[in-house]
Amino acid sequence: VQIDKAGHRHFMAKEIHEQPTVSTYALAHYVDAATGLIRSEAEAVDFAQVDRLVLVACGTGHYACAIAKYWFERIARLPVECDIASEFRYREPPLSGRDAAVFVSQSGETADTLAALRYAAPHVGHVLSVVNVAESSIARESQIVLPILAGPEIGVASTKAFTSQLVTLGALAILAARQRGAIDEDEERRLVRILSEAPRKLSEAIACAPEIEAAAITLAEARDVLYLGRGPLFPLAMEGALKLKEISYIHAEGYASGELKHGPIALVDSSVPVVVLAPRDGLFEKTISNMQEVMARGGRIVLFTDAAGAEAAAEGAARVVVMPDCDPFIAPIVYAAPAQLLAYYAAAFLGKDVDQPRNLAKSVTVE
């Protein structure tokens, strides 16, 4: 296949803009259009017999797992352990036959993730992988392979693979919930409908590109940037910070909003932009009160929220980008696109090599 930039300046921009299309491939694979229910290779696992899910990955895949932990716990009432592969493989964590382990990897070749799989395989009841490259080592050594079908990803910083990993893990959480009796068929259909809205909402979020670009230019002057979120938007805050440091070389950290006062607030002054990811969900008021603590110390807020959130809390923020309304379930998927674009525009503005950032490799096949 001929892979080009399809009119974009960089592969990363092309891959960000592809997400509304590419995420439909995973949906088409995991949703049975006739019934509106999940169908999956993972139906071979009986999640009612699973006591714990172990999610292992590196980099961006790890943040997809960290978001999915919220879904598995909330929707399927399934306990989750979530770890980075380089720690997991050497920690000798106790595992049991009633654990199911899921290894998430775009390339399917990351050395630490493969080693973690090999450590876990003899001990756990089920070995699943969530991969983009179906002919990869991690896929070959798994009992069950869940493809994300995102197509070749060229930009070193992962974007479309992340949102397709999330769609795939979201579908798996719904399946696990069904098998565990945590949801009935009507609720399954409702959740599937919400997950199926992700492509359209991603496209609406990407349409905010001009405002995101304007916000990114204000970040480009900063030395440090903080990202804040709560619930599943907390791991997304870490992913947003990772994207920014990977390609713009600006130091950035993602924090749980509630941890702000336990350290990072000491960094805040008028030179530190603080990116707040805050859809108007059940935790909105809490995040906004954290945001106000930042503003009181002169911090410059870049707020991503929906229309209701903007109406309630935009005052005093340096920038507000109004995201489409969406169900809280898919908010971490929808808000991923602006987090990616923010990093992209900051790096492009600074003239950095967006697709090939220094010192990084697309696939880390050595330890």
Point out the residues that are catalytic: 362
In this structure, what DSSP letter does residue 13 have?
H
Pick between residue 253 and residue 306 the one whose CB is nearest to ligand G6P.
253
CB of 336 to ligand G6P, least distance (A): 13
* Structure token digits, residue 7: 């009119």
What's the number of CA atoms in the CB half-sphere (13 Å) around residue 15? Answer: 24
| CA separation for the pair 305, 219 (Å, rounded) | 18
Handedness of CA 203, 205, 207, 210 (dihedral sign): negative
Listing DSSP states for 78-106 in one string gives --EEEEEHHHHHHH-----TTEEEEEEES
Estimate to the nearest angstrom the gap between the alpha carbon of 67 and the chain centroid.
Answer: 6
3-class SS string, 118-179: HHHCCCCCEEEEEECCCCCHHHHCCCEEEECCCCCCCCCCCCHHHHHHHHHHHHHHHHHHHH
CB of 3 to ligand G6P, least distance (A): 17
What's the number of CA atoms in the CB half-sphere (13 Å) around residue 86? Answer: 9
CB of 252 to ligand G6P, least distance (A): 15
**Beta bridge mates, 129:** 103, 145
Pick between residue 85 and residue 219 the one whose CB is nearest to ligand G6P.
85
Pick between residue 76 and residue 148 the one whose CB is nearest to ligand G6P.
148
Listing DSSP states for 251-320 in one string gives EEEEEEGGGGGGTGGGG-STT-EEEEE--SSTTHHHHHHHHHHHHHTTPEEEEEE-HHHHHHH-TT-SEE
* Structure token digits, residue 307: 């229309």
Work out whether strand 224-229 and strand 126-131 pair parallel, antiparallel, or are unpaired: unpaired
| CA separation for the pair 65, 57 (Å, rounded) | 7
CB of 112 to ligand G6P, least distance (A): 8
Structure-token match 């330890």, residue found: 367
Estimate to the nearest angstrom the gap between the alpha carbon of 108 and the chain centroid.
Answer: 17
Pick between residue 17 and residue 300 the one whose CB is nearest to ligand G6P.
17
Pick between residue 157 and residue 183 the one whose CB is nearest to ligand G6P.
157
CB of 147 to ligand G6P, least distance (A): 13
Pick between residue 149 and residue 183 the one whose CB is nearest to ligand G6P.
149
CB of 362 to ligand G6P, least distance (A): 6
Which residue of the chain is nearest ligand G6P when measured via CB?
A: 59
| Binding site residues, ligand G6P, CB under 6 A | 58-61, 105-107, 110, 113, 156-158, 360, 362-364
Pick between residue 123 and residue 362 the one whose CB is nearest to ligand G6P.
362
CB of 64 to ligand G6P, least distance (A): 9
Neighbours of 1 (CB within 10 A): 4
